[in-house]
Chains A and B, each alone.
Chain A
Amino acid sequence: MGTAPSQPTSTTQQVIAQGDELRKAGQTQQAIEAYLQAASSTEVPEAALCLKIARCYSQIGDDDNVRHWAMASLDDGDDFLTWQGVTGLVKKYFAGSWSGFQRQARVAILGSYTTVQFKQMLAVAAIKYGIQLELYESDFGQYQQDIVDPDSRLYRFDPQFVILATHAGEVHLPDFTDDPTAALERETARWVGLWQRLRQRSKAKIIQHNFALEEAVAMGHLATRLAGSRYNMMQQLNHRLAMAAGNDVAMVDCQRLSSLIGQWRWFDPKYWNLSKQAVSLQALPLLARHTAAVLASELGLSRKCLVLDLDNTLWGGVIGEDGMGGIKLGQGSPVGEAYIAFQEYLLQLKNKGVILTVNSKNNDADAREVFQKHPEMRIKLDDIAVFVANWQPKPQNVQHIAKVLNIGIDSMVFVDDNPVERQAMRQFLPQVDTIVMPTDPSLYVRTLSNYLLFETSSFTREDAARAQQYHARAQIAELEQSAGSIEDFYRSLQMKATVKPFDRFSLPRIAQLLGKTNQFNLTTRRHGAGELEKFMADPACVHYALTLRDRFANHGLVSLIIAFKRGDILDIDTWLMSCRVIGRTVEAELLSQLTHQALAMGCKTIQGTYIPTAKNAMVQDIFAKFGFTRTAEDHGTTVWQYDLTRQAPITNDFIEKVGRLDDEADTQTN
């Protein structure tokens, strides 16, 4: 049986044909059985078959299966007709009260071309990532008017995100100029000016599609050598806009996407002439997927951790049978080179903050020996945060890894060459994203790079150091088991912290934490960078960010609190903490600082609010734990007060307060 996406065999085709006949005859239930039989013969059934199954279920009113098979059809690729078929099911099956979404977002699409189809595709791509969109679309070509007019429908819609879906034809740059600097400055200023107007009038985060290059270059190869050619200036413009975007504007790199699939496929002049499609219909699913992935990362839905198999995933062959000399890895054989390329790509992911872990069916010593002794191994044991090689079922190991790292199962991605292991993972832990790997290891890098939920909205020092921090976390989990009392354990960590008001250096990391922290997050208010700047300018706002180090690692900025003075009450608007430092009194540290500040400001009460979500049950009792009294409750939301006139300030003895963390000595921990 095929393990990768494949054409159905002839018998499968016959079974599908039988299903077609049954469906035509009105025997829907029997048709479904035939289709399901055909679908079970491959890991990724054909999109058209999945759609047929979805539609049959639609006829018999089995909504859950309609949704399941509609989404399954998208796994077969970026085919426009398939996606078009799914858009037809969105209104009925993915709207309103369906509870399967992790996020909702109001998104405005401001386009310079016909964006009807893009809008539909974006809704589908977002559903795939667990996001329900409420969409607004500007009238054809009216993106500037919508931004400039303060009374436009756009602002009444009050979007959380604005996507500027603009194309190269909209760029005001001449074919050639003697003064490219001036032309570029003018054009950059025009776009940045639109962003600024948007930000003055809306809290929305902007997502800018940058410009795919035009395919016809009259100046030919000479154009690359002329600073004043439009060809050169278009690339410069993309660069300048990216630099101007900073952390405030997210970019979707259409220049890269168009070269990825080829400019002749990205743009179809016939469809531009017919209906002003600046991105061809066949490229829209790809563009929609990438745009939705950027949205997902802004909404905190990116995945954090890669769980890797070893045999035939990181090297060719089976270490337990072939031995160190027998496995294929390294120069000299095409297969060996493919595994090196894959390992190097995995290290790139690690360096941008993805946690690498190992989950392998092997003797632990055999597996580790490859990392320690094989000269061609690119990945070392230190790169792996949690290393599990045993004979337990892999889903069980994934649960163990999640527990050690203290991250959700739904932030993990599983990579294994074995379709049986993948099936087991999908079946027992459907929250894990299981990637269907191709049989040829040469295609591993491409397959993984086409998985988009490692997209992140910013890159900070914390991201670069994350793997090491999680490695340290795993060591701490062991220490915890060996330490005596919990107090001894806290002291043994030798924790040091700084607590400081927000500043412009810490702002990107703070915005990132606000965007993605789910578990230790009392109110889950996703303030953006713009709001944070307002808070910082507001004298009634108290804001602290905490950075932490311990004997194993510098964890960087891991917790923050935002509160507002209202009369003699200091009201906590936001309080969150990265899950990797939960369970070591950091919460007491920040609250201690807050009580002292409240007293200094003459407040009599500290007030806190807990707003329940699907993820934050772990903090529902946190105010009670610190001696707050519950004063109100409404639909699960609880309000708590701490009486500073009667209760002593909160203190914490386990973390040493320092002015700054010494960063020099913390890169090596072992």
Chain B
Amino acid sequence: MTTHEQLQEVFQTVFADDSIELTPQTTAHDIAQWDSVAHINLMFSIEQAFGIQFAGNELAEFANIGELEKYLETRRS
């Protein structure tokens, strides 16, 4: 599975919505249910799925999904 596919699956699971399609330009504003609780759930789920640890609230600092994917790729390799 590519990073993109895996990330999309995490999003679909956390938001319980199979219709979520991530693009590099997607931001928190594009997903209606992305509130503060979902943010925490999402952060933890990404950490688990990719075996990484964000420092503090690093997740909030990515401008969009494209940046997050790039970060995950580098941490992965």
Additional 11 contacts, C-beta under 8 A, given A88-B13, A270-B54? A81-B45, A81-B49, A84-B14, A84-B41, A87-B16, A114-B37, A117-B41, A270-B56, A271-B44, A274-B40, A277-B40
Q: Is A89 an interface residue (CB 8 A)?
A: yes
Asked if residues A81 and B18 are in contact (CB atoms below 8 Å), the reply is: no
Residue from B13, B36, B37, B53 in contact with A81 in the complex, judged by beta carbons closer than 8 Å: B13
Q: Which residue of B lies closest to A281 (CB)?
A: B44
Q: Is A80 an interface residue (CB 8 A)?
A: yes
Q: Is B23 an interface residue (CB 8 A)?
A: no
Q: How far is A116 from B39 in the complex, measured between Cα atoms in Å? A: 13
Q: How close is B39's CB to chain A, nearest CB, in angstroms?
A: 8
Q: Is A346 an interface residue (CB 8 A)?
A: no
Interface size counted on chain A using CB atoms at 8 A: 24
Top 4 nearest A-B pairs (CB, nearest first) are A88-B16, A85-B13, A281-B44, A81-B45
Q: Is A603 an interface residue (CB 8 A)?
A: no
A81-B48 CB under 8 A given contacts A51-B13, A55-B18, A89-B16? yes
Q: How far is A117 from B44 in the complex, measured between Cα atoms in Å? A: 12
How many pairs of residues, A versus B, come closer than 8 Å at their CB atoms?
54
Asked if residues A88 and B15 are in contact (CB atoms below 8 Å), the reply is: yes
Q: How close is B28's CB to chain A, nearest CB, in angstroms?
A: 15
Q: How far is A275 from B44 in the complex, measured between Cα atoms in Å? A: 12
Q: Is B65 an interface residue (CB 8 A)?
A: no
Contact code string A115-157 (vs B, CB < 8 Å = 1, else 0): 0110000000000000000000000000000000000000000
Q: Is A282 an interface residue (CB 8 A)?
A: yes
Q: Which residue of B lies closest to A91 (CB)?
A: B16
Q: Is B74 an interface residue (CB 8 A)?
A: no
Asked if residues B13 and A281 are in contact (CB atoms below 8 Å), the reply is: no
Can you sample 11 A-B contacts with CB below 8 Å? A81-B49, A85-B13, A85-B14, A87-B16, A89-B16, A270-B56, A271-B40, A274-B57, A275-B36, A275-B40, A277-B40
Q: Is A506 an interface residue (CB 8 A)?
A: no
Q: How far is A84 from B12 in the complex, measured between Cα atoms in Å? A: 11
Q: How close is A79's CB to chain B, nearest CB, in angstroms?
A: 8
Q: How far is A55 from B14 in the complex, measured between Cα atoms in Å? A: 13
Point out the residues of chain B lying under 8 angstroms from A48, CB to CB.
9
Asked if residues A59 and B37 are in contact (CB atoms below 8 Å), the reply is: no
A84-B13 CB under 8 A given contacts A274-B56, A275-B40? yes
Contact code string A56-80 (vs B, CB < 8 Å = 1, else 0): 0001000000000000000000011
Q: Is B10 an interface residue (CB 8 A)?
A: yes
Q: Which residue of A lies closest to B45 (CB)?
A: A81
Q: How far is A277 from B43 in the complex, measured between Cα atoms in Å? A: 13
Point out the residues of chain A lying under 8 angstroms from B44, CB to CB.
80, 271, 281-282
Asked if residues A85 and B56 are in contact (CB atoms below 8 Å), the reply is: no
Q: How far is A51 from B15 in the complex, measured between Cα atoms in Å? A: 13
Q: Which residue of A lies closest to B55 (CB)?
A: A270
Q: How far is A152 from B57 in the complex, measured between Cα atoms in Å? A: 35
Point out the residues of chain A lying under 8 angstroms from B16, CB to CB.
85, 87-89
Q: Label chain B's interface by main secondary structure.
A: helix
Q: How close is A13's CB to chain B, nearest CB, in angstroms?
A: 10
Asked if residues A84 and B56 are in contact (CB atoms below 8 Å), the reply is: no
Q: Which residue of A lies closest to B5 (CB)?
A: A20
Most chain B beta-carbon neighbours within 10 Å: one of A55, A88, A114: A88
Q: Label chain A's interface by main secondary structure.
A: helix
Q: How close is B43's CB to chain A, nearest CB, in angstroms?
A: 8
Asked if residues A80 and B45 are in contact (CB atoms below 8 Å), the reply is: yes
Interface size class on chain B is: 20 to 34
Q: Which residue of A lies closest to B35 (CB)?
A: A116
Point out the residues of chain B lying under 8 angstroms from A282, CB to CB.
44, 48
Q: How close is A71's CB to chain B, nearest CB, in angstroms?
A: 16
A1-57 contacts to B, CB under 8 A, are 48, 51, 55
Contact code string B1-43 (vs A, CB < 8 Å = 1, else 0): 0000000011011111110000000000000000011001101
Q: How close is A397's CB to chain B, nearest CB, in angstroms?
A: 41
Q: How close is A165's CB to chain B, nearest CB, in angstroms?
A: 16
Asked if residues A117 and B37 are in contact (CB atoms below 8 Å), the reply is: yes
Contact code string A255-281 (vs B, CB < 8 Å = 1, else 0): 000000000000000110111010001
Q: How close is B46's CB to chain A, nearest CB, in angstroms?
A: 9
Q: How far is A474 from B2 in the complex, measured between Cα atoms in Å? A: 61
Q: Which residue of A lies closest to B48 (CB)?
A: A81
Most chain B beta-carbon neighbours within 10 Å: one of A51, A80, A274: A274
A223-275 contacts to B, CB under 8 A, are 270-271, 273-275
Asked if residues A80 and B15 are in contact (CB atoms below 8 Å), the reply is: no
Point out the residues of chain B lying under 8 angstroms from A270, CB to CB.
53-54, 56
Q: How close is B23's CB to chain A, nearest CB, in angstroms?
A: 15
Q: How close is A637's CB to chain B, nearest CB, in angstroms?
A: 39
Asked if residues A81 and B56 are in contact (CB atoms below 8 Å), the reply is: no
Asked if residues B13 and A116 are in contact (CB atoms below 8 Å), the reply is: no
Asked if residues B40 and A281 are in contact (CB atoms below 8 Å), the reply is: yes
Q: How far is A89 from B27 in the complex, measured between Cα atoms in Å? A: 24
Q: Which residue of A lies closest to B16 (CB)?
A: A88
Q: How close is B13's CB to chain A, nearest CB, in angstroms?
A: 4
Q: How far is A178 from B43 in the complex, measured between Cα atoms in Å? A: 44
Point out the residues of chain B lying under 8 angstroms from A84, CB to CB.
13-14, 41, 45
Q: Which residue of A lies closest to B9 (CB)?
A: A48
A79-121 contacts to B, CB under 8 A, are 79-82, 84-85, 87-89, 114, 116-117
Point out the residues of chain B lying under 8 angstroms from A114, CB to CB.
37
Point out the residues of chain A lying under 8 angstroms from B13, CB to CB.
51, 81-82, 84-85, 88
Point out the residues of chain A lying under 8 angstroms from B54, CB to CB.
270
A59-B48 CB under 8 A given contacts A271-B40, A274-B57? no
Contact code string A282-323 (vs B, CB < 8 Å = 1, else 0): 100000000000000000000000000000000000000000
Q: Which residue of B lies closest to A92 (CB)?
A: B16
Q: Which residue of B lies closest to A268 (CB)?
A: B44
Point out the residues of chain A lying under 8 angstroms from B9, CB to CB.
48
Q: How close is A85's CB to chain B, nearest CB, in angstroms?
A: 4
Q: How far is A89 from B13 in the complex, measured between Cα atoms in Å? A: 10
Point out the residues of chain A lying under 8 angstroms from B43, CB to CB.
274
Q: Which residue of B lies closest to A24 (CB)?
A: B5
Asked if residues A281 and B18 are in contact (CB atoms below 8 Å), the reply is: no
Q: How far is A492 from B58 in the complex, measured between Cα atoms in Å? A: 78
Point out the residues of chain B lying under 8 angstroms from A274, CB to CB.
40, 43, 56-57
